[in-house]
């Protein structure tokens, strides 16, 4: 009977779920500019009779329904990447255009529109009494697109809020995800000696030395670990820079930046060791992690090294089983158990804090950051059913 009751209420709320998803997309919320989105979500939480609503110091919006001792958190980041390239879109990215079963706009799939499903799913769970033994929290986290996990680390370490279970609502095509590779962002700097370009033998060309290092890195990628579930580690030299007194001079410094995706068994320590072994001139070269630094919309200054740990939750964990059960009822078919290719706030929830986490969200991963981003409207409704059902399914497992 529970699933039928959830289905009835979701159908009742379908117009509101869609309308609020459109309101979300119409509200620009680039990283550090999420205040308007936070206030919009705060108003909706209050309208849906959440038991508690607060904004924390970094600017996350967090709401709660239920009063049980065990804490479940549904998390969606509410910032988006840039979308001012309107010439590449067939619709205005902030007009929230509906075309059949598709809702277009920046943040539709990644992942703001999921917030509408999350809020209504939580409200339905409260109305139907599906929260026995649980407090269900909904968070709209900030700054994820610029530094995934940073706002979560603030939530746990500075605000003292540590959930027992987490559902990350990034797009999963309504399948259940249980991990993804991590990431290390590196900076390698090599120094040489400047000289007039007419006398290059008098100098030590930093670009030439760095070029050899880049070739060494290309060869190094063949040695990266591989995992049967998450896949192989990768590295991309994404930016190269140099310094010289003029175009007529031998460069005295060269710097490269690297995106190193890490899999099971790889850490920042193993990555630093392997790249230090790959440089061409160790005596004149530094290898270091880069740092993120910014100011949140609340005015809080934040800083964090760019290390984002790999994480995987065991397929037999009760949260995975509960997720599969809830998804099966919500969708009418058994979901795949899979993983993301990109990175999420899971690098903090489980990567840093080892809090059991799964992923379930409307939309498709490949649409993230893309022009003409969209979400299937039917996904929003099925996701709302999942979010309403999960606490009761988890109660059966734990």
User: Who contacts 264 (Cβ-Cβ below 8 Å, separation ≥6)?
Assistant: 225, 227, 229, 230, 310, 312
33 is catalytic: no
Catalytic site residue from 144, 145, 204, 274: 144
Q: How many CA atoms lie within 13 A of 5 on its CB side?
A: 11
Nearest to 383 by CA among 177, 201, 115: 115
79 is catalytic: yes
Catalytic site residue from 75, 79, 266, 373: 79
Positions marked active-site? 79, 144
């Amino acid at each position: 009977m529970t699933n039928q009751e959830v289905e009835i209420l979701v159908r009742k709320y379908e117009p509101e779920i869609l309308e609020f998803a459109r309101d979300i997309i119409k509200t620009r919320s680039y990283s550090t500019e999420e205040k308007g989105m936070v206030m919009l979500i705060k108003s909706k939480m209050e309208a849906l009779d959440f038991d508690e609503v607060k904004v924390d110091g970094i600017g996350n919006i967090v709401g709660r329904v239920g009063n049980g001792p065990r804490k479940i958190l549904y998390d969606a980041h509410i910032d988006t990447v840039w979308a001012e390239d309107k010439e590449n879109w067939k619709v205005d990215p902030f007009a929230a255009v509906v075309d059949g079963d598709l809702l277009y706009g920046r943040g539709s799939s990644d992942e703001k529109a999921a917030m509408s499903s999350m809020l209504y799913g939580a409200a339905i769970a409260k109305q139907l009494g599906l929260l026995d033994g649980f407090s269900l929290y909904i968070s709209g986290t900030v700054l994820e697109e610029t530094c995934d996990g940073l706002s979560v680390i603030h939530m746990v370490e500075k605000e003292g809020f540590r959930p027992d279970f987490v559902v990350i609502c990034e797009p999963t095509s309504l399948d259940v995800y249980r991990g993804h590779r991590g990431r290390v962002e590196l900076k390698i700097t090599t120094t040489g000696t400047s000289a007039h370009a007419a006398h290059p033998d008098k100098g030590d060309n930093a670009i030439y030395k760095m070029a050899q290092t880049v070739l060494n890195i290309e060869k190094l990628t063949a040695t990266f670990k591989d995992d049967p579930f998450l896949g192989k580690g990768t590295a991309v030299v994404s930016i190269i820079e140099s310094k010289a007194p003029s175009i007529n001079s031998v460069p005295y410094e060269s710097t490269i930046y690297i995106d190193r995706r890490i899999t099971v068994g790889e850490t920042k320590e193993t990555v630093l060791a392997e790249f230090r072994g790959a440089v061409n001139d160790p005596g004149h070269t530094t290898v270091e992690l880069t740092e993120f630094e910014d100011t949140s919309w609340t005015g809080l200054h934040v800083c964090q090294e760019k290390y984002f740990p790999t994480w995987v939750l065991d397929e037999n964990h009760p949260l995975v089983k509960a997720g599969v059960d809830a998804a099966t009822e919500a969708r009418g078919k058994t979901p795949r158990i899979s993983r993301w290719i990109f990175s999420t706030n899971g690098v903090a929830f489980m990567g840093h804090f080892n809090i059991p986490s799964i992923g379930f969200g409307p939309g498709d991963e490949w649409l993230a950051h893309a022009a003409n981003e969209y979400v299937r409207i039917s996904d929003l409704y099925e996701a709302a059913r999942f979010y309403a059902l999960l606490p009761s399914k988890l109660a059966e497992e734990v």
